[in-house]
Structure 1
Amino acid sequence: MSAQKTSSALISVLVVLIVIAGVVGYFAGSAAAVPKTVTITSTVAPSVVTTTVTKTEKVV
């Protein structure tokens, strides 16, 4: 085999391996478990809320 045929064959083999790896990776990824959403709820004791009302009256 000449050097050009050898490098051409190597490139062809590499392309085939990359395509196979991509297909295998795609199917492995699609078969993976779907991530679950975890909701954490914390209950906080009611706190005392103080409301201050300021009334302004017009002095005549």
Structure 2
Amino acid sequence: MEQILKVGKCYLDKSGAARIYIPLGLVQALKWNNLEDIVLIKSGKSIEILSQKDYNIHEENI
């Protein structure tokens, strides 16, 4: 069964990679073991998952 998730924000960075901001509540709903918001970065065929803390991103900057 396919599910559609509504994410907080999506944007392109300077390199043209798509970055998707996922709020903490959704991260917990997806059962990630991370206790902070995360950012998914899609570039080409790969997707990288970074925490806001590791990437130094704050919601007001997105």
Q: TM-score scaled by structure 1? A: 0.16
- More contact order relative to length (CA 8 Å, sep ≥ 6): 2
Structure with higher Rg: it is 1
Which is strand-richer, 1 or 2? 2
Which is helix-richer, 1 or 2? 1
Q: TM-score scaled by structure 2? A: 0.16
